Amino acid sequence: RKARHDEQRPSARERGYGTKFQKAREGFLKANPTCARCGAPATVLHHIVPHRGDKRLFWQRSNWMQVCKPCHDGPLQSEEKRNANR
């Protein structure tokens, strides 16, 4: 099921995660170097409210949160999945 979904999913660049975003992400993480959840070094820029293609929400810095990969891939993803199923 996941493989079928991934085949139809636009590329990261097509979803807005190109060079402009990478530079913005790098600056945000430099200014906010520790995970907002556990205090470990932050490596991921997380969208608090999923943007689902909404470019305004995608670029809204108040919707950004710096997190480490374990926090992003674990609890945050679980929360998003739970909220999506409501």
Identify the residue with better confidence: 8 or 31. 31
CB-count exposure of residue 21 (10 Å: 0-12, 13-18, 19+): middle
**Phi, psi angle pair for 22, to nearest 5°:** -60, -40
Of 58, 62, 78, nearest in space to 17 by CA: 58
Q: What pLDDT sits at residue 43? A: 96
CA dist., res. 86 & res. 80, Å (int): 10
**Are 32 and 42 within 8 A, CB to CB?**
yes
What pLDDT band is residue 75 in, cutting at 50, 70 and 90? confident
This prediction's pTM? 0.76
pLDDT in tens, 16-69: 778 999 999 999 999 999 999 999 999 999 999 989 889 999 999 999 999 999
Q: What pLDDT sits at residue 7? A: 74
